[in-house]
């Protein structure tokens, strides 16, 4: 059976300017946005099609699209945590697994 890898286009989200800058060198039109992007982009790394955030206490954290973040939250909450986990505990578990949104 042949499998086809389909690159699903995502709606623009918070990662879009970082990916455009780090991958393609494309900057926003607004000079204030450019300044903010260049300042913050040194915390991110784009490799093999995936955006990562650098962290002091964790290895590279994979940045998630809104759809991926929703899936990861549901997966961790339902499988690992059960139904009684607060938001802070849930986010800490996701960070330990190497996710960032």
The pLDDT tens digits for 54-75 are 877 778 888 888 888 888 777 7
CA atoms of 51 and 67, how far apart (whole Å): 15
Residue 14 pLDDT: 86
CA atoms of 63 and 48, how far apart (whole Å): 13
> Which candidate, 75, 52, 67, places its Cα nearest to that of 8?
67
Give the pLDDT band (50/70/90) at residue 4: very low
Q: Give domain limits for the chain.
A: 15-97
SS3 content of the chain, % helix, strand, coil (to 5): 45, 15, 40
The pLDDT tens digits for 7-62 are 555 688 888 999 999 999 999 898 999 999 989 988 999 999 999 998 777 788 88
Higher pLDDT, 79 or 73: 73
Contact assessment for residue 15 and residue 26, using Cβ atoms and an 8 Å cutoff:
no
């Amino acid at each position: 059976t042949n499998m086809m890898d389909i690159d699903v286009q995502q709606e623009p989200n918070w990662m879009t300017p970082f990916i455009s800058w780090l991958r393609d060198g494309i900057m926003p039109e607004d000079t204030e946005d450019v300044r903010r992007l260049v300042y913050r982009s040194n915390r991110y790394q784009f490799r093999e099609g995936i955006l990562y955030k650098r962290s002091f206490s964790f290895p590279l954290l994979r940045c998630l699209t809104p759809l991926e973040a929703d899936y990861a939250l549901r997966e961790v909450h339902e499988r690992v945590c059960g139904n009684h986990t607060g938001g802070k505990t849930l986010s800490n578990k996701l960070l330990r697994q190497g996710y960032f949104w």
